Amino acid sequence: MSYLRLPLYASGEKTVKAPIFVNDVSNAIYAAIREPMSVGETYEIYGPERYKLRELIEYCLRYMRRKSIITPLTPDVFVKAIANYTFHKSLYNIDRMQCAYVSDSFTPGLPTIRDLGIEPIKFSDAIGHMMASMRKSGRYVENPEDFLIPDPPKPVTQEYELSQNLSFP
């Protein structure tokens, strides 16, 4: 059995993400276009709950029934990222690393998706139908017990975020 190696900063324990369902993003864009008062406004669009990156990835892997080894970032990954920066053809590049390994932060005072009248869907409620087709055997179900849905990750607490010096919305 082969395993995909996923190098993450601090093994994904210190990176916090606020995933948002793509339909919520498109609804927010539509609402902003239709609202004359939003001209020139900057909206912060993020999901209702925040998770450690490692827990999000582990949940998705469990849901898809795939194996992976999460490792800390090592110098060889940085070398690959720098070498591939000019070729733009790798899983490891500077842009992807910056996007994936930096915690989501929020700017106090900016309007959010809720100010557009949209209540974002929780990660655990939105991810199921997106992940079903990515399962090891796709949507095919021979034995229903084979596709029990794993428990979703637990959101991080405000105390955790404050201890990590992250901004909490």
The yes-or-no verdict on residue 128 having pLDDT over 80 is: no
pLDDT level of residue 93 (50, 70, 90 thresholds): low
Hey, what are 23's tokens?
Answer: 């339909």
Q: Is the pTM of the predicted complex or chain greater than 0.85? A: no
The arithmetic mean of pLDDT across residues 31-49, rounded, is 92
Average pLDDT over the chain, rounded to an integer: 79
Please state, for a pLDDT cut of 70, what percent of the chain lies above it: 72
Write down the pLDDT at residue 6. Answer: 77
Q: How many angstroms separate the Cα of 110 from the Cα of each of 48, 134, 161?
A: 16, 36, 20
**Domain 4-136 class in CATH:** alpha beta
β pairing state of 51-52 and 4-8? unpaired
Domain ranges of the chain: 4-136
Over residues 58-92, the pLDDT tens digits come to 888 888 777 777 878 777 766 776 666 666 666 66
44, β-bridge pairs: 112
Integer Cα distance of 107 and 34 in angstroms: 24
User: Is the pLDDT higher at 19 or at 100?
Assistant: 19
